[in-house]
């Protein structure tokens, strides 16, 4: 799991590289944010901050592409058990990265 955690930090770094109006950080296993310039928040930022403010615990068991669940590789995620292939997210282009991440978070927040 240490390898997955270090990759999750890369995911946060990737978020921060795309958005100048907000700064994301991991506080142990919790995603937090600080708004730097509210006028320049994107729709994506508003969705993510809304989920964080909502206070729901959204389980995401981050695994690498080498990880297996129920004997199979995970393609993007394994919803029922909360597994997410962090490598799949990180290798996506910026638009796909944001779309996949918001899809995963919104879907899990509804459960």
pLDDT digits (tens, 9 = 90+) for 3-40: 444 566 778 888 888 888 999 998 877 888 999 999 99
β-pair type (72-73, 68-69): antiparallel
- For CA atoms 41, 45, 51, 53, the dihedral sign is negative
Residue found under tokens 């993007």: 76
Q: Determine the average pLDDT of the residues in 84-104.
A: 87
DSSP symbol at 58:
-
- Cβ atoms of 85 and 74 closer than 8 Å: yes
Q: pTM (2 decimals)?
A: 0.75
pLDDT tens across 56-89, in order?
788 777 777 777 776 777 767 777 777 888 888 8
């Amino acid at each position: 799991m240490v390898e997955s955690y270090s990759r999750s930090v890369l995911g946060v770094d990737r978020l921060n590289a795309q958005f100048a109006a907000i700064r994301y950080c991991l506080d142990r296993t919790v995603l937090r944010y600080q708004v730097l310039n509210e006028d320049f928040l994107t729709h994506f930022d508003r969705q993510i901050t809304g989920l964080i403010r909502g206070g729901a615990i959204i389980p995401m068991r981050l695994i690498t592409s080498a990880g297996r669940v129920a004997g199979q590789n995970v393609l993007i995620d394994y919803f029922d058990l909360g597994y997410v292939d962090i490598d799949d997210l990180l290798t996506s282009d910026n638009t796909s990265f944001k779309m996949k991440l918001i899809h995963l978070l919104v879907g899990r927040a509804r459960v």
